[in-house]
Amino acid sequence: MKMSTLSKLAAQSIVKNKMRTMLTMLGIVIGIGAVIVMVAVGHGARSQIESQIRNLGTNMLVITPGSTAQGGVSQGAGTFNRLTVEDAEKLKRESTLLDAVSPVVITRTQIIGGDGNWRTSVNGVSTDYLTIRNWNVTEGTLFSDDDVAAKRRVVVLGATVAKNLFPGRDPTGSQVQLGRSPFMVVGVLAPKGQTASGNDEDDVVLVPYTTAQARLAGRSFLGQILASTASADQIPAAMSEIEGIMREAHGMARGMPDDFTVRDQTAIAAAATSTTSVMSGLLAAIASISLVVGGIGIMNIMLVSVTERTREIGIRLAIGARGSDVLTQFLVESVAMSVLGGIVGLAAGYGGAALLGHLTGWATATPLSAVLLAVGFSAAVGVFFGYYPARKAAAMDPIQALRYE
């Protein structure tokens, strides 16, 4: 029997029993829809985290203070600070792989000006900082190397600070007070949004690191040194180069542990995306249970259908239909219901993901691979769970089938 004829017979059987077909497909629809929603949420979360990691900087390397020990007990990272401006200058002067290097002096203080006051984080940096962080200025400009050398009291406001002190207007050229010192606003940073941990990256102001050391921080050691490479491929070699230069700068003998730490954003991104991948995979696996339940539902309904159509099967076998024709017909019916349910489930999943994103503000994204996998899996469910009923129908004795009441 031709496949076109078998498909036509299968379609007639499906249309003839609309309610039964809809109930049969319901499990597949729910299963595929649930999988699509879970994958969309997981993939969207991973994409958002990757975007936030990219916002941290372009191929950025972070050099932070090391640890110290008292009585054989380690006090943890950052407890032994020997980072200096001279270290940053030596890195910039001697490194062959670093494109940009910036000292970072971190402190917090009250900023007063415009329509009120705001407590924020103050980062003392060099002119390389925006290059490393892949950050732009939307109003005005960044301070210059001359400003850094002269320890001028100039400041670039983050978007959050500018919004709270100067709502609805450009603060460039205005005067603000940081601590007890007046500063001139020379620019406003482009908005970056929140980090993966929920911190507001725009709640910050930038000043020359020389000014921060002299007027705000009151200390000579740096909170960290930031650096960046031209490409991600250079990061491992650059990390080794930084370690060599820093050990030489600190006069460390062979075998002595580093008194600093060098980290890159690749490890952070890998850890974050790995976590979201595991979670999205777990959610998709849980949702896939619905597909198994739906497949069992298809098998049960097909078994009922075989029983109801015993005489019909007997007549077809008696007039010359082969067992393979009956097998194929029932398999086509099973696969058709599964695929149709998968398509409806895809639509429901897309709609559910969009609705969830709208209501919660979560980022959702459905990769094409998930769509193809969902449709393919629904067809596989139809074949797997439809084979036994189809095989049972094909193995019937025509005489016994014709005598069935």
Q: What is the pLDDT of residues 330-362, one digit of tens each?
A: 777 777 777 888 888 888 888 888 888 878 777
Residue 115 lies in a domain: yes
Q: Does residue 54 have a pLDDT over 70?
A: no
185 and 298 share one domain? no
List C-alpha distances in Å: 162 to 106, 118, 126, 185, 279. 19, 10, 21, 10, 38
Averaged pLDDT score across all residues of the chain: 79
pLDDT tier for residue 241 given thresholds of 50, 70 and 90? very high
Other CB atoms within 10 Å distance of the CB of residue 298: 25
Where among 232, 258, 284 does a domain terminate? 258
pLDDT tier for residue 59 given thresholds of 50, 70 and 90? confident
Over residues 259-298, the pLDDT tens digits come to 888 888 766 666 666 666 676 667 667 666 766 777 777 7
242 and 96 share one domain? yes
Amino acid at 265: Q
Residues 22, 283: Cα–Cα separation, whole Å? 26
- pLDDT for the residue numbered 182: 94
Where among 192, 226, 258 does a domain terminate? 258
Q: Decide if 378 contacts 28 (C-beta within 8 A).
A: yes
Print the domain residue range for 332: 3-52+270-402
39 and 179 share one domain? no
Q: Does residue 72 have a pLDDT over 60?
A: no
Residue 264 lies in a domain: no
Residues 291, 376: Cα–Cα separation, whole Å? 12
- pLDDT for the residue numbered 153: 95
116 and 140 share one domain? yes
β-bridge mates for residue 110, sequence order: 119
Residue 57 lies in a domain: no
Based on the structure, what is the number of domains in the chain?
A: 2
Residue 61 lies in a domain: no
162 and 253 share one domain? yes
Where among 229, 258, 287 does a domain terminate? 258
pTM here?
Answer: 0.58
23 and 164 share one domain? no
pLDDT tier for residue 8 given thresholds of 50, 70 and 90? confident
218 and 296 share one domain? no
Q: Output the DSSP codes for 55-70.
A: HH-SSEEEEEEEEEEE
Task: Give the residue among 138, 160, 155, 161 at the shortest CA–CA distance from 208.
Answer: 155
Residue 348 lies in a domain: yes
Other CB atoms within 10 Å distance of the CB of residue 145: 11
Residues 104, 207: Cα–Cα separation, whole Å? 10
Residue 76 lies in a domain: no
Q: Output the DSSP codes for 178-196.
A: ETTEEEEEEEEEPP--B-T
219 and 294 share one domain? no
Residues 52, 49: Cα–Cα separation, whole Å? 5
Q: Decide if 203 contacts 142 (C-beta within 8 A).
A: no
107 and 219 share one domain? yes
Q: Does residue 78 have a pLDDT over 50?
A: no
Could you tell me the two tokens for 17? 């029993």
138 and 220 share one domain? yes
287 and 352 share one domain? yes
Could you tell me the two tokens for 128? 């390389």
pLDDT tier for residue 70 given thresholds of 50, 70 and 90? very low
248 and 101 share one domain? yes
Residue 74 lies in a domain: no
Residue 324 lies in a domain: yes
